Amino acid sequence: MSSNEHPAAPSPREPQEDGHRDDAEVTDHTGDFGDDRSSGDTLDVAPTHEVHTSHDLATGPPAPGVGKKDPILVADHISRSFGGIKAVDVEHLEIPRNAITALIGPNGAGKTTLFNLLSGFDQPDSGEWSFNGRSLAGIPAWKAARRGQVRTFQLTKVLQRLTVLESMKLGATGQTGERMLASIFPFLWRAQEKDIEARALELLQKFKLYDKRADYSAALSGGQRKLLEMARALMTDPEFVLLDEPMAGVNPALVQSLLDHVIDLKSEGMTVLFVEHDMHMVRHIADWVVVMAEGRIVAEGPPDVVMSDPAVVDAYLGSHLDQDIGVITGRYDEEGNRIS
């Protein structure tokens, strides 16, 4: 497959001891040990080809709620409270088409809740939003998915007692054999099934799950489940994918090839909105970054602009983002020598 034969990232460094991400340690988790972060080309998770297509997605200067030249999704006044807490309170949000948008923010900022609302898995207290110009408010989740807006879950939902290949095939849309009456006449759907299987196997190869195709999904590791879920979502041929922490728990080498894959999605005309706590990844693949805190959109803009925004640094990134964690904890000096 093409994606695993890409050359390694420029100047690869020692692999991290632990590729596993922990959501609880957001600001500490730079995933990097002692490099200068200002030039972004020294990352082990850097994609291998050019990423950012356009820095000019917005119609005005970067600010929360700024209009986009070609929005695929427009949301207005969306609010959702749990008891006393306003989990989501978004005034206006536009997601640019055919671009990769990152949604970042501290734990509990309301990112997953916003995903749930936009995808129809939860109902807002109030609000309007439209996808491709058609209103999606009050539309059930499965219909939203049919329109081409597919999401994955932060807590992966694998279909335990289906094999990996079966789960993938389930993702394909417009299957004749999924109609009850047609299903009992195999000649009606066998040809389509073959095509679907071929496409599923191809995707499984890209996601390094090909060897697992005959295993039950329950037998996959945590990271493999994330991969399966993302691959399964892509089986629907979506126009707009919402990925909730797609790379959490995926090893660095595979993250790199997945990043390539996500960027390929964009070149195929897809729009991606993803939640991610790993700022390197955000910086590398996102064309646009939306920052949420306490349910609100607090900043928006191209990655470099947003990440130097003092408000964002205060609320989420922390001032040590570009520093070695060893330096922060005082166990290493600036040159990377161990002191304690």
Buried b (16+ CB within 10 A) or exposed e, 205-234: bbbbbeebbeebbeebeebbbbbbbbbbbb
Name the residue nearer to ligand ATP (CB basis): 98 or 156: 156
- Give the interface size with another protein as a residue count (CB under 8 A): 44
Stretch that binds another protein, among 52-60, 180-188, 299-307, 310-318 (CB under 8 A): 180-188
Q: Is 112 in the site for Mg ion (CB under 5 A)?
A: yes
> Residue 300: what are its φ and ψ, rounded to 5°?
-155, 145
Residues 6+ apart with CB under 8 A from 290: 93, 101, 102, 103, 104, 297, 299, 300
Question: Between 130 and 169, how does the x/- string for binding to another protein read (CB under 8 A)?
Answer: ----------xxxx-xx---xxxx---xxxxxx---xx-x
What distance in Å separates the CA atoms of residue 190 and residue 297, rounded to the nearest whole number? Answer: 48
Name the residue nearer to Mg ion (CB basis): 101 or 154: 154
Name the residue nearer to ligand ATP (CB basis): 23 or 178: 23
Could you tell me the smallest distance in angstroms from the CB atom of residue 110 to Mg ion? Answer: 8
Report the alpha-carbon angle 176-182-185, nearest 5.
115
339 binds, among another protein, Mg ion, ligand ATP, none (CB under 5 to 8 A by kind): none
Could you tell me the smallest distance in angstroms from the CB atom of residue 233 to ligand ATP? Answer: 18
141 binds, among another protein, ligand ATP, Mg ion, none (CB under 5 to 8 A by kind): another protein
> What one-character-per-residue DSSP string does 184-247 give?
T-GGGTHHHHHHHHHHHHHHHHHTT-GGGTTSBGGGS-HHHHHHHHHHHHHTT--SEEEEESTT
Strands 296-301 and 85-96: unpaired
Name the residue nearer to another protein (CB basis): 196 or 325: 196
Alpha-carbon dihedral angle through residues 89, 93, 97, 100, given to the nearest 10 degrees: -60
Q: Is 116 in the site for Mg ion (CB under 5 A)?
A: no
Binding residue for another protein, selected from 178, 211, 304, 314, defined by CB under 8 A: 178
Window 204 to 243, contacts with another protein (CB under 8 A): 216, 218-219, 229, 232-233, 235-236
Q: Is 154 in the site for Mg ion (CB under 5 A)?
A: yes
121 binds, among Mg ion, another protein, ligand ATP, none (CB under 5 to 8 A by kind): another protein
Binding site residues, ligand ATP, CB under 6 A: 23, 82, 85, 87, 105, 107-113, 154
